[in-house]
Structure 1
Amino acid sequence: MTMRWDAFIQQVRERGEYGSHEEADRAARVVLALLGAHLAGEDRARVAARLPETYALILLNPLQAAEPLDPQRFVRATAAWIDGATEQTAAWDVSAVLSVVADSLDEDLMHNVLLQLPPGYDVLFGRPQTS
């Protein structure tokens, strides 16, 4: 089921402890644009189907990634796209957004998404895998 924009942004705002919806929206846009570059095919479309339309379109029309970024480089790339961000604040941004995305996905889709990403993204999504 598609999450409504206000519910999505409110959850991101709470998890990221943002002072405004605008801050939460900026983080969501950057993180989802970067995530979209790492997902392909049906799984990307299935994730997009769970997101509010604004964010689904960002996920489906991503920034182009020359290569898959490992989690640390993903956080660095996020920091580069958000004015005034540091790696620490960007890690917080990534975690706030991706954990809300993870909550909107079923177990099977979350598993497929993690299979498309380099190792370590499970932690960014707030879903550490136990081996």
Structure 2
Amino acid sequence: MTLQTETTAAPASGLTSAAPYSALLERVRYEGAYPTPERADEAIRSVLASLGRQLVGDERVDLAACLPVEAALVLTAQIPAITPLTGWEFVKDLAQRSGSTPATARWNVGAVLAAVSQLAGPGLVDRIISRLPSGYALLFGKAELRQPRYRSGTA
């Protein structure tokens, strides 16, 4: 008697919610075109630490559950900020904390959040973006579509 097993194709990105840290590291290294795994690891740790200071509630818990343990620990080790930063302030804060330029920080954010988005999936990413101040959609590689605000009492 032969045992048949069903196989499923892995996603094109190679990342699933059960991906080990090494898979996340390689994905970020690819996305950011980093020359070494150490440089990609540095980007992951600095971006996730900064994101951990911005996220609260269920979105923080749900994102941590999607990440490899090593990445989840970096995210959840941070105490959330009292006043959340806009997307641009987030990048400037990351640049200051990491001793880099805003352009480099933006590059790191894009590389890391592209990989994180693949792990989290579009539903969770949308929830995260809706809970954060303006500017994060672009950091996650999405268009920022906000409802226009109309002033009452004007024609």
Normalised to the residue count of structure 2, the TM-score between the two structures is 0.78
Q: Which residue of 2 aligns with 1:53?
A: 69
Question: Which sections of structure 1, spanning at least 5 residues, go unmatched?
Answer: none
1:78 Cα deviation (Å)? 1.2
Runs of 4+ in 1 over 4 A off after TM superposition: none
1:28 Cα deviation (Å)? 0.7
Q: For residue 116 of structure 2, what is the amino acid of its counterpart?
A: V
Between the two proteins, the alignment pairs up a number of residues equal to: 130
C-alpha change, 1:64 and 1:111, in structure 2 (3 Å) is closer
Instruction: Establish whether residue 13 from structure 1 lines up as the match of residue 29 from structure 2.
Output: yes
Structure whose residues are more often helix by fraction: 1
Bigger radius of gyration: 2
Q: Which residue of 1 aligns with 2:112?
A: 97
Which among 31, 48, 59 is matched to residue 32 of structure 1?
48
Q: For residue 106 of structure 1, what is the amino acid of its counterpart?
A: G
1:54 Cα deviation (Å)? 0.9
Q: Which residue of 1 aligns with 2:141?
A: 126
Q: Are the counterparts in 1 of residues 28 and 40 from structure 2 also a CA contact under 8 Å?
A: yes
1:44 Cα deviation (Å)? 0.8
1:63 Cα deviation (Å)? 4.7
Q: Are the counterparts in 2 of residues 38 and 116 from structure 1 also a CA contact under 8 Å?
A: no
Normalised to the residue count of structure 1, the TM-score between the two structures is 0.91
1:106 Cα deviation (Å)? 2.2
The Cα RMSD (Å) is 1.5
